[in-house]
């Protein structure tokens, strides 16, 4: 972990290994908050950028293959949530989200962030020469 983190300027991270549904290893590295000098712990929450998109897509498609879910299933119902009221003009949810379906989550998007250059996980590793 440290050999990966240091050249990329990543201040902190955590690693967990699960085997047969049991946590067998958990360790943290570096700092959770660089400015305050707070050490990372195995419980520290970190930004994972868009890593969850392909994980979610694979999980949904596995459930579809098993016949336990359909891509046109309404996501709000599966999540046991009420969709925002279509008549609610103060809703901050985009109109397309009212009819959100599982297929929406199974499509990996080529998204992005304007902060890529300032986010350590998006910086290219630079070899240092002296």
Q: Which residues are catalytic?
A: 50
Q: How far apart are CA 122 and CA 115, in angstroms?
A: 9
DSSP string, 5-35: HHHHT--EEEEEEEETTEEEEEEEEEEEETT
Collapsing DSSP states into helix, strand and coil, what is residue 103?
A: helix
112 within 8 A of 119, measured Cβ to Cβ: no
Q: How far apart are CA 117 and CA 109, in angstroms?
A: 20
């Amino acid at each position: 972990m440290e050999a990966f983190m240091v050249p990329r300027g990543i201040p902190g991270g955590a690693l967990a290994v699960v085997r047969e549904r049991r946590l067998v290893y958990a360790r943290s590295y570096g700092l959770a908050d660089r400015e305050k000098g707070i050490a990372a712990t195995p419980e520290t929450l970190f930004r994972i950028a868009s890593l969850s998109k392909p994980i979610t897509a694979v999980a949904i498609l596995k459930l579809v293959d098993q016949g336990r879910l359909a891509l046109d299933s309404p996501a709000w119902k599966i999540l046991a949530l009420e969709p925002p009221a279509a008549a609610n003009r103060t809703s901050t949810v985009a109109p397309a989200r009212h009819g959100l379906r599982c297929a929406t989550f199974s499509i990996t998007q080529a998204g992005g962030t304007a902060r890529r250059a300032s986010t350590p996980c998006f910086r290219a590793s630079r070899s240092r020469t002296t």
